[in-house]
Structure 1
């Protein structure tokens, strides 16, 4: 990874953002900034950074929530930078998908070394797609928005969760048990009728004929996969 990488800094303290902008900029990195969690998620989707530096104490939402929402659609490396130094907070962030954790106050040389280490793990081409397309169907994972031929499709929470899970793994079969566990919880892995109902509703809203599917294909006795029309 060259030092032309883009780093997104999500922190509500202007002086911290300025310090990191200068420090990262001196190493050749492009720096994006956000002072709130909502702005940070938007910047992550639009700016497609190779690394996110995330503060946990944000004014509009907790940084742990930002991390959870980011991980729903992106695997970009996240370096948490926070005054919260307890082991519980660190474990929660790392279990929630953070790649590293640095406490404030911090030494800039160690911080930059951790940035370099995380960026070495990033492929040259960012493979993560935040709004995958399947012919006329687009599933915007960052903004939780589904469009068909440019028109927004109104989905319930469960319907969107199903489509988003399939969209994250295009062409790959997701088992019924995995979908039930992810969407309804581990106590519902045998409740396949829940899944059949939601799949039927999504198909109806997408105008997708199960006998000649354009999008959602049933693998009998196994699960479902999402395809583009060129693969049908």
Structure 2
């Protein structure tokens, strides 16, 4: 397996560490059958990709074998954002028959953490995601890893997260505090339920906490669980 080079952000704020550990623990309590997880949000720039990568790293550092998949085949910024080098093939290569599964999985400097990047942008992402090839990819990596974290596009923009979610074990919604209106989150939940995607929970991201006498802010992740019976009545405070 090839190894890539990337700039992995440090996770050194204890509030962030605690939030990620809480998210990791709550996912474990969702059940042993929950291995392949779709991460989505309502709109771009809520921190979904950062949460996906940080969660993947946290799980790997706890001794799990993890694959993070960048499944944004429309506007992926992961390779550029983290200065990834050493990539030959990505997910779009596999889905269009130009690569095998083992060709698109790369090791990182973090033991146990592997990454699959999106690859070249495609003209019809929905069709190649809603395909036998993508279903087969999920089945293959399910057997290879303890968890597969799939970073899907924002659901308030395109439908891809629902397409991806139907092949996975459930979805987690990343919500930026104080930015996303409740109605938009409700619409995202309805779309996931309409597509029969199990909602595992939500991550309230970029939570401001005033500290000290000068009104500084810290940021953390807050995780909440949604059961099937309460997705309609319980919503994040935004």
Larger helix proportion of the pair: 1
Which entry has the higher C-alpha Rg, 1 or 2?
Answer: 1
Higher relative contact order (CA 8 A, sep 6+): 2
- Both proteins in one fold, TM over 0.5: no
